[in-house]
Amino acid sequence: MTTAKQTLHEEHAEFMPYLDTIRRAADGVGELSTDDLRDMLEEIHEFLSHKLIPHAVGEGRVLYPVVRQVSGTPAVTVRMNRCHVELGRFADELERLLGSLEPSARLEHELRRVLYGLHAIVRAHFEEEEDLYSSTVESTVPKDTARKILASMEQAAHELRELYE
C-alpha cells in the first residue's frame, strides 16, 4: 500500500500518468501497430481494473458518506457515483474491444470513442471531486480527521485490489 496522502489531489496525482497514456492511445488508434496498441490498452485496462476502480469503490464506501454528512444533503455525491458507474462501463467496453483487435474502421471508431470518453470523464471527475472535497471535508473537519478519512479510503481500495490479485 502507498503512504497516506494528505489531500485528495495527491491521491489523484498518482493517476495522471495513466491519463496521459489513455490520451496517447486514443491519438495512436490507426497509427500504432496492433501490438503496440494492444500493450497500451492492456496497461489502461489494468489501471482501470486494479487502481482506478478500487479507488472509486474506496471513495464510495468511505469518502462520500462523510461528504454527504458534512454537506447535509445526500444528493451531493449522486453525480460522483454516476461517474464511477460510467468508469466501470468504459472498463467493460475496453475489455470487450481488447478481445477483437482486428484492424477495421469500426474498431478504430469504437476505440477512440471509449478512450477519449474515458479520458474526459476521469479528468472532469477528478476536478469536480477535488472541488467538492475541499469545499466540504477539508473546510469543515480537522486536518487530522481528513487524513484519517483518506487513509481509510486508501485501505478500502487496497483491500479490494487484494481480492483481484
pLDDT digits (tens, 9 = 90+) for 50-59: 999 999 999 9
Residue 100 is predicted with a pLDDT of: 84
Pairwise CA distance, residues 165 & 155, whole Å: 15
Matching residue, cell 469500426: 106
Residue 1 is predicted with a pLDDT of: 39
Residue 5 is predicted with a pLDDT of: 60
Matching residue, cell 491519438: 27
Q: Indicate the SS3 state at residue 151.
A: helix
Pairwise CA distance, residues 85 & 14, whole Å: 21
Q: Which residues of 122-142 are buried (b: 16+ CB within 10 A; e: fewer)?
A: bbebbeebbebbeebbbeebe
Residue 4 is predicted with a pLDDT of: 53
Long-range contacts of 43-48 (CB under 8 A, 24+ apart): 43/18, 44/18, 44/94, 44/115, 44/118, 45/91, 45/94, 45/95, 45/98, 47/15, 47/18, 47/21, 48/87, 48/90, 48/91, 48/94, 48/118
- Region of 102 please: left (phi>0), alpha (psi -120 to 50) or beta: beta
pTM for this entry: 0.89
**C-alpha angle with apex 17: 41 to 99, nearest 5 degrees?**
10
Residue 10 is predicted with a pLDDT of: 87
Q: Which secondary-structure segment (H or E) carries 57? A: helix 53-58
Residues of the chain with pLDDT below 50 are 1-2
Residue 11 is predicted with a pLDDT of: 86
Residue 21 is predicted with a pLDDT of: 97
